Amino acid sequence: MMEEKKEKAARKFRGQPAIVKLLQEQVGSGQSIKSFCAAHGIAEGTFHNWKHKYAGEVDARSGFTTVQIIPEPGLFAMVVGIKIYQPVSAAYLKELLA
């Protein structure tokens, strides 16, 4: 029997805005990376490379935010101009951002 050769899909160039949009779409979809990549014709390795490269540009709804460390004695965190001088939970900080 002759085996059929599976042709590789043509590579598609995507610019930074398109990549960031796809990363945000995957986060919002609730799909696994594997199923999202299969549905959009993206190699999983490529998708993981994008996640690593553009991690700071994905929407804050992904569960992460930028934290600026300011050396001030006794200061635990500063969120939206509010200074917090004792340890608080991540959930509390997240509520302050909402």
pLDDT, tens digit, 9 for 90 and up, residues 41-96: 999 999 999 988 887 776 544 556 666 666 777 888 777 778 888 888 888 888 87
Reported as a single tens digit per residue, the pLDDT across 12-26 is: 888 888 898 899 888
Q: Which amino acid is at 51?
A: K
Q: What is the pLDDT of residue 16?
A: 86
Residue pair 61/53 in contact (Cβ under 8 Å)? The answer is no
Q: What is the CA radius of gyration of the chain?
A: 20
